[in-house]
Amino acid sequence: SGFLREILVGNKFSDVYRDSFTLAFTIPDLVYNLLIGGSIQSAITPSLSSWINNNEEKRGCRAVSIFISVFASILFVVCILGVVFSDFIYKLYSSGNSNPETIHLAAMASKWLFPQIFFMMLAALCIGILNAYKRFGSTSFGPTIYNVFVLLSILIFAGNDEKSLVRCTAGIMVAAIIYFLFQYIIGFDKLKQIRFIFKPTDKNFIKLLKTAIPVLISSSIVSSTIS
């Protein structure tokens, strides 16, 4: 489904709009990799699994709740800033590398892709928690479902004008919401334990954070190098 998505993008967009579509993903993907990356699974899954095995499920769920609350709050603020300052961000990022039209179109399209990474993060958090409970089957179809709805968005909305490009990325954000809701619904019996608890000084949260930091640093280096 991922390869099919790339084929459709090439067929549905002309060169300028295809370049804009690709560029639009660059900054949101970079933000996601810098702030989240692989830290979710590396921190949540083994730590929560250990707490569950030691009959400390409530303690583990509370620590995970704080972890999710803190990271979700940070990413929420970053996404809002991304939407508000998208024109400035893309002009700065693409200075001297793209024509003004491509940069403008990418900035407009990204206004829906910044919120998308928030829901992608929530979906990834759901997967990390369910994996700790060894619910691997419940998480295996999520990415395919996401790609299917992305394909539908491209098929229905993609075209060679600004409105079509923006509608396409808006549809992709909806695909991310569906992806998150799918993961949450199929794992509701476990995920219902997660609550919003913003206590960044909690010792168990700090333990999780220390587990996540090395992965965040490594993914940041890789993302910065690629960019």
**Residue 157 confidence (pLDDT):** 92
Distances (CA, A) of 75 to 35, 54, 70, 115, 203: 8, 31, 9, 9, 22
Q: Work out the mean pLDDT of the chain and round it to a whole number.
A: 85
**Residue 143 confidence (pLDDT):** 85
Distances (CA, A) of 199 to 70, 113, 121, 166, 203: 8, 29, 20, 37, 9
Which two tokens mark 177? 């919401």
Low-confidence winner among 36-45, 67-76, 174-183 (lowest mean pLDDT): 36-45
pLDDT in tens, 21-30: 999 999 998 8
pTM: 0.85
pLDDT band of 3, cuts 50, 70, 90: confident
Torsion angle of the four alpha carbons 19, 20, 24, 27, in this order, in degrees rounded to the nearest 10: 60
Q: Residue 90 pLDDT > 80, yes or no?
A: yes
d(CA 1, CA 172): 14
Residue 52 identity: I
Higher pLDDT, 208 or 107: 107
Candidates 141, 120, 156, 124; CA nearest to 39 is: 124
Handedness of CA 202, 36, 76, 189 (dihedral sign): negative
pLDDT band of 116, cuts 50, 70, 90: very high
Q: Residue 180 pLDDT > 90, yes or no?
A: yes
**Residue 177 confidence (pLDDT):** 96
